[in-house]
Amino acid sequence: MARPTRLDIEGGWYHVVNRGIERRTIFRGASSYQHFVGLLSKLPQRFGLRLHGYVLMPNHYHLQVETPEANLSRAIQWLNVSYSIWFNRKYQRVGPLFQGRFKAILHDWTSHGFTINRYLHLNPVRVRHLGGHEVRVHSEDSQEQSAAQLARARVEALRSYPWSSYQYYSGKAKAPEWLRIGTVLDLVSDRGGESAKMAAYRRELEQAAAVDEVGGDWKNELKATLLLGPSELVERMKQLLEGDHQEQTGIRKAKEGTLSWQTITLAVS
């Protein structure tokens, strides 16, 4: 099996994702979530990482981290191994807990820092029962009422989800010292104090939740499966990619370059 491409750099911003093996549940009840958050709180002191956001879903997790040192792989490996050992002991199981190596998308924080942070926090809204696929309506009035009810349900799901850092960005709770919220809040608004920026952030996400704009359009901008940002950043990072070019298709494609759809259609025309 091909190993996920990894690029550890100093000062990088990453969107880290990992899932349970066979998409199985990795968090069973409050104690599981709490233990994982406790491990997250140790990352800044133990590895120097700066944690900008997180969300824990039943069978996977998302993090947004910054690495002053080039040690992302070492830090996330410690996180995953530490949690797996605890989980297996608690629930008397054996074998791997996660499906494999974690995925890490290196992104430019000025252009996509808020985009990724927003995507993380809207995860609790992107669940099937809030998608409205099974809603049946029999009149325009009932259709409008159902849409309004669904919008309120999405916003409430965002507000009430306890296992993400949204509660700190929205001002519902005071952020712990190990979580940095100021940098992303500054990307949303450069006016007023922290409370004003939190209000602007809250409006942005609750509006997105209400109108169901919770997708991942940014994924269409990915280069080599792990780079997100302006073309200058992408080209610079391509030069740093290392690994088995035959095994890791992301590296090979980055080195070879890619043709856009516009380029192909222009050539054919």
Structure tokens at 227: 């780079």
Which of these ranges, 129-143, 154-168, 170-184, has the smallest mean pLDDT?
A: 129-143
pLDDT tops 70 at residue 139: no
Say what the pLDDT of residue 169 is.
Answer: 97
Which residues partner with 229 through β-bridges? none
Residue 129: burial class (beta carbons within 10 Å; 0-12, 13-18, 19+)? exposed
- Confidence band, pLDDT 50/70/90 cuts, at residue 7: confident
pLDDT tops 80 at residue 23: yes
pLDDT tops 90 at residue 125: yes
The 3-state secondary structure of 94-105 reads CCCCECCCCEEE
Q: Is 92 helix (H, G, I), strand (E, B) or coil?
A: coil
The Cα–Cα gap between 173 and 179 comes to: 12
- For the stretch 200-209, pLDDT in tens is 999 999 999 9
In terms of average pLDDT, the best of 42-51, 120-129, 189-198, 237-246 is 42-51
Say what the pLDDT of residue 168 is.
Answer: 98
Q: Is 65 helix (H, G, I), strand (E, B) or coil?
A: strand
**Residue range 27-40: mean pLDDT, rounded:** 97
- Confidence band, pLDDT 50/70/90 cuts, at residue 137: very low
Q: Quick one: which of 88, 20, 76 has its CA closest to 51?
A: 76
| Residue in the structure block whose two tokens are 């809030």 | 130
Say what the pLDDT of residue 239 is.
Answer: 76
Compute the mean pLDDT over every residue in the chain, rounded to the nearest whole number: 85
pTM of the model: 0.83
The larger pLDDT score, comparing residue 163 to residue 235, is at 163
Say what the pLDDT of residue 98 is.
Answer: 96
Say what the pLDDT of residue 75 is.
Answer: 97
- For the stretch 58-102, pLDDT in tens is 999 999 999 999 999 999 999 999 999 999 999 999 999 999 889
Indicate the domain borders of the chain.
12-256
Structure tokens at 180: 């940095």
Top-tier CATH class for 12-256: alpha beta
Q: Quick one: which of 165, 169, 219 has its CA closest to 199?
A: 169
pLDDT tops 50 at residue 244: no
